[in-house]
Amino acid sequence: MPSINYKDEIIKVILLKIAIIILLFSSPVYAINIISNITADTASLSVNELRRIYSMRQAHWKNGTPIVVYVLASKSPLHQKFCKEQLRLFPYQLDRIWNKLTFSGYGVAPIEVASESELIKAIKSTKGAIGYVENLSEAKDVNVIKVTE
């Protein structure tokens, strides 16, 4: 009859319990999704195109529709994540670009909304609008844009 090593079995049970606790109490991780109003009619954008749109250097979609940019507040964790992961810029760099355009009179800053749900509503109701969300479950009747290299 084989002998049972109780120390190994106890360690396995403890590790299993720790793993279950971590899974139960960790928050889900969502990817950032770029969404637009269905009038934008584009399936993908390169990182450079997305950066041009958010730095307000590209004003129209390929079909000629004016682009309306929506963002969350600069201090928002989602906005900061969007800047770093999608635009590959720091939020303060984007703020500087917008401030320079606004104060020089050569452009306007994007439209800031208070929450992700407000952003989704604005995207749905504004022709040519673009924005970003973390959770697509609320984002119905919008165009989801794939970001490519």
DSSP symbol at 138: S
Q: How far apart are CA 149 and CA 2, in angstroms?
A: 57
| Tens digit of each residue's pLDDT (9 = 90 or more) over 12-25 | 888 888 888 877 76
Query: Residue with structure tokens 């600069």?
Result: 74
Contact 90, 83 (CB under 8 A): yes
Asked, for residue 87, whether it belongs to a domain, the answer is yes
Asked, for residue 120, whether it belongs to a domain, the answer is yes
Asked, for residue 28, whether it belongs to a domain, the answer is no
Query: Token digits for 45?
Result: 């954008």
Number of domains in the chain: 1
Query: Residue with structure tokens 């979609």?
Result: 61
Q: What is the pTM of this model?
A: 0.79
Confidence of residue 3 (pLDDT cuts 50, 70, 90): low
Asked, for residue 7, whether it belongs to a domain, the answer is no
Is the per-residue pLDDT at 30 higher than 70?
A: no
CATH number at residue 62: 3.40.190.10
Asked, for residue 100, whether it belongs to a domain, the answer is yes
Range of the domain at 102: 33-148
Amino acid residing at 143: N
Q: Which residues pair with 34 in a beta bridge?
A: 132, 145
**Percent of the chain at pLDDT above 70?**
93
Asked, for residue 19, whether it belongs to a domain, the answer is no
Q: How far apart are CA 51 and CA 143, in angstroms?
A: 18
SS3 47: helix
Decide: residue 50, CB within 10 A, 0-12 exposed, 13-18 middle, 19+ buried: buried
| Tens digit of each residue's pLDDT (9 = 90 or more) over 110-141 | 999 999 999 999 999 999 999 999 988 778 89
Asked, for residue 4, whether it belongs to a domain, the answer is no
Asked, for residue 83, whether it belongs to a domain, the answer is yes
Q: How far apart are CA 68 and CA 110, in angstroms?
A: 7
First to last CA, the chain: 60
